[in-house]
Amino acid sequence: SSPALIDWATAKNAVTFNNVAFGYPGTETSALAGVSFEIETGSTVAIVGPSGAGKTTAAQLILRFWDADEGNILLFGQHLRDLDLDDLRAHVAMVSQETYLFNDTLAHNILMARPDATETDVQTAIEQASLAEFVANLPDGLQTMVGERGVRLSGGQRQRVAIARAFLKDAPVLVLDEATSHLDAVNEAFVHNALQQLMQGRTTLIIAHRLSTVRNASQIVVMDAGEVVQTGDHDTLIGEDGLYSRLVAHQLSATATKQ
């Protein structure tokens, strides 16, 4: 049967997890067990939890890097397994802390997100990602080779390349694996501003490590050992005697910079 079409304009929920269980091949323990949550179209949802809680696993399942062992995941009301993989991934942009860059030109690395994009499209994405000044100062501009795994770029610059890709892709769903690595203040500000702009008008799922990010989310999903243990907004959860208030007391992530 032909793949289901994604109707992302009218669906109430962008992403739905229904009782999802998953274990990585060759491991005894479950990475996710009975996970259920909904992300309303147009909202921003943050997933928080200690290391190994299953946050990144949940994000990877949305892009079908793996398939759930049990339960269902829906994108705009359609089961992921019913969707064409290319179509699914065209509707979801991921910005992760490990931005994979190929030993090619900066232009080609950005065009990966949408190979048919015009030069003007690429230029716009670069400006939106706060990369324009950096590119203008490169001797070869967009034709500069980035080196194996992007070694010629700083962490903040690599992250902004990932953001430029997401702007170019212009997908309705954004999955953001927030960087825990410490960026210097200038890069931090550039990345923060670019992400704020990128999130406008999209449904965003953030794997969050910073308190400032989580406070602004419309819903927070708190995970621990592969299970959802709390859901609600910041004000609700902070008033409960649960994992969330303990995480906040420790600033959510020991590896994140204090904010």
Sequential DSSP letters for 128-185: HTT-HHHHHTSTTGGG-B--GGGTTS-HHHHHHHHHHHHHHHT-SEEEEE---SPPPH
| Percent of the chain at pLDDT exceeding 70 | 93
The pLDDT of residue 33: 97
The answer to the question of residue 201 being in a domain is no
pLDDT digits (tens, 9 = 90+) for 26-39: 998 899 999 999 99
For residue 259, pLDDT over 70 is answered with no
Quick one: what percent of the chain has pLDDT higher than 90?
69
Nearest to 35 by CA among 84, 70, 11: 70
Q: Is residue 22 part of a domain?
A: yes
Residue 227 inside a domain? The answer is yes
Q: In this structure, what CATH number is given to the domain that contains residue 217? A: 3.40.50.300
- Measured distance CA(156)–CA(182) in Å, rounded: 9
Chain segment 28-69, per-residue pLDDT in tens: 889 999 999 999 999 999 999 998 899 999 999 999 999 999
Predicted structure pTM score: 0.88
**C-alpha 257, offset from chain centre:** 19
Residue 217's pLDDT band, with cuts at 50, 70 and 90, is very high
Does a structural domain hold residue 249?
Answer: yes
Mean pLDDT calculated for residue range 230-259: 82
Tell me if residue 46 falls in helix, strand or coil: strand
Least confidently predicted of 3-12, 63-72, 130-139, 225-234: 3-12
Phi, psi at 129, each rounded to 5°: -90, 10
**For position 180, what pLDDT does the model report?**
64
> Tell me, what's the pLDDT at 250?
85
What is the C-alpha separation between 255 and 50, in angstroms, rounded?
11
- Segment 11-30 shows an average pLDDT of 95
Structural domains in the chain (count):
1
pLDDT given for residue 225 in this prediction: 95
> What's the Cα-to-Cα distance from 222 to each of 25, 48, 238, rounded to whole Å?
25, 5, 12
d(CA 187, CA 184): 6
Query: What pLDDT digit, counting tens, does each position of 164-186 carry?
Result: 999 999 999 999 988 766 677 77
The predicted structure's pLDDT at residue 40: 96
pLDDT digits (tens, 9 = 90+) for 235-244: 999 999 999 9
Domain that holds residue 52: 11-89+210-259
Query: 200 lies in a domain?
Result: no
Q: Give the whole-angstrom CA distance, residue 227 versus residue 243.
A: 12
Q: Which residue has the higher pLDDT, 111 or 255?
A: 111
Q: Which whole number is the average pLDDT over 140-155? A: 86
**From the CB of residue 127, how many other CB atoms can be counted at a distance below 10 Å?**
15
Whether pLDDT at 257 is above 90: no
Give the separation between CA 187 and CA 169, rounded to whole angstroms: 22
Token pair 């259920």 in the structure block, residue: 36
pLDDT at 258 over 50: no
Query: Residue 145 falls within a domain, yes or no?
Result: no
**Mean pLDDT score, 132-149:** 90
In a domain, 233, yes or no: yes
On the question of pLDDT at 3 being above 90, the answer is no
